[in-house]
Homo-oligomer: A and B are copies of this chain.
């Protein structure tokens, strides 16, 4: 029940890309360097985001990543599902249909009670993350920065960002 480490990286990366949207972005190398992450593995996470349609990666010499939607339309849940997969945490193997007192499968119209409770909990988990969009996420992250840090980051980004077209 551990979330992939890549989710954290992807979330931070999207947080960086948020303020640059819609016409600016960052190459993989910058996204990795900003947080001192291994570029090759960071690529894997960005690919996952790309496949999920959260970011768009222009290929070629001047390629870089841009958010493919407004930061308001991207939620933490989207990022989690993109990187970690959207399989449910709890998978019911219907063991109630096994053994000496097995329930007939035609009697199992409603899901197993245990599975139902886990599913409900998971829905609440997802709902909680669904509420956090990239815009509000960024507001929170930035408010934690010291004025010096904020200026440093802004400078660094302006040096490394790239523009579409």
A residues touching B (Cβ–Cβ < 8 Å)?
1-5, 7-9, 11-12, 15, 33-37, 76, 84-85, 87, 89-93, 95-96, 98-104, 107-108, 110, 112-118, 120-122, 124-126, 128-129, 132, 137, 140-141, 144-146, 149, 152-153, 156
Contact = CB atoms under 8 A, between A and B. Distances in A.
In the A-B complex, the 6 residue pairs with the smallest Cβ-Cβ separation, listed nearest first, are: A36-B98, A113-B140, A121-B128, A125-B125, A35-B95, A101-B153
Q: What is the count of identical protomers in the complex?
A: 2
Contacts of A93: 5, 8
A interface secondary structure, majority: helix
28 contacts: A1-B1, A1-B85, A2-B87, A2-B91, A3-B89, A3-B90, A7-B90, A8-B93, A8-B114, A9-B95, A15-B114, A34-B99, A34-B100, A35-B95, A36-B95, A36-B102, A37-B95, A100-B152, A101-B152, A103-B149, A107-B149, A108-B144, A110-B144, A112-B144, A114-B137, A114-B141, A117-B128, A121-B126
